Amino acid sequence: MSRAGIRVYLQVYKTQIIRSMTYKFEVYGNILMQSIIMLASAYFWKALFKNSDTVKGVDVDTMLIYTVVSAMISVVLTCNVERRIMTSVDKGTIAIDMMRPVNVFGVFLAEDIAGITALVFQNMLPILVIGCLFIKLPTPAGPAHFALFLVSLFMAFWINWLIACMFGMIAFWTLNMDALIQVKKHLIRLLSGSIIPLWFFPAWLRNILEWLPFAYLYQLPLDLYIGKYPVSSAQCQRGLCVQLLWLVLLTMGFLFLQKRVTSKVMIQGG
């Protein structure tokens, strides 16, 4: 990409950060909701671990760290791209978006990264502070674990964004998908390990989930952070490999759909 091209997306990024500052009320609401979920899960784990030191090889402190870090990861995995596509298609402005000499999905991506940047300050830091004060200081298992966690989180961001973006593309075929978005959101919540770690699930379900992309949004990065498996273990390597595989598959799917969607707009008009 040319330098001038990158500058376009940088400007989109800057502009979007300005926009994110507009909605203060939403930000406070989000912090409140995240904190409640986080505190509730923390007390839930404390109660559960009362009679035993470890469950499935983890102790209560690790579980509390898991809870705080999970809330922080949810900030990195926020994206607006599905709604953005849906409203653009619904209002017909998608035609104008696509008429400009830039890649419209590049613009959506820049907007989402900007949104996350704003949320790191508006949401993640407050959650970290509340987590430290009321639950536990979330220290990673070790430097190697933390490094792998960052790699895995980076891939998790992409997997999440690509799923959301392709999901949003459904809007080109069926217009209203509010309900679908809700279903997807709750499925991810349940099947990704964001609230309940997948190790607590029955083995048959766990075996299935290990091959679905959801576990690679929360479960794998969290496992790496708390040091569930040693860095050199087979589980660790296999996890990262499957995550990478999903990233590649989803990227290919995205590129395929992007072409079809563009021609779809060209045929139907906004």
Partner 1 sequence: MEQEKVVIEVNHICKQYKVLKKGEGIKGALKGLVTRESRLVPAVDDLSFQIKAGEIVGFIGPNGAGKSTTIKMMSGILTPTSGEILINGMDIQKKRKEVVRNIGVIFGQRSQLNWDLRLGESYELLRHIYQIDKAQYEETLDVMDQILGIKELLDKPVRQMSLGQRVKGDLVAAMLHSPDVLFLDEPTIGLDISSKYALRKFVKEINEKRKTTIILTTHDLADIEQLCDRLIIINHGHLMEDGNLSEIVNRIAPYKTLVVEYYDEYAPEHDKCELCFHEENVAKYRFGKKEITAARLIEELSAKAQIKDVSIEEAGIDDIIRVAYGQ
Contact status: 170 vs partner 1 (CB under 8 A): no
With CB under 8 A as the contact rule, the residue among 12, 38, 155, 163 that binds partner 1 is: 12
Q: Helix 125-134 to helix 60-76 angle, to the nearest 10 degrees?
A: 170
Contact status: 95 vs partner 1 (CB under 8 A): yes
Q: What minimum distance in Å lies between the beta carbon of 26 and partner 1? A: 12
Q: What minimum distance in Å lies between the beta carbon of 110 and partner 1? A: 11
CB count within 10 Å of CB 188 equals 18
φ/ψ of residue 79, rounded to 5: -150, 155
With CB under 8 A as the contact rule, the residue among 48, 96, 245, 249 that binds partner 1 is: 96
Q: Among 28-36, 91-99, 191-199, 246-254, which window interacts with partner 1 (CB under 8 A)?
A: 91-99
Q: What minimum distance in Å lies between the beta carbon of 92 and partner 1? A: 6
Contact status: 104 vs partner 1 (CB under 8 A): no
| Residues within window 15-54 making contact with partner 1, judged by CB under 8 A | 15, 18-19, 22
Given the rule CB under 8 A, which residues bind partner 1?
Answer: 4, 7-8, 10-12, 15, 18-19, 22, 91-93, 95-96, 98-102, 263, 265-270
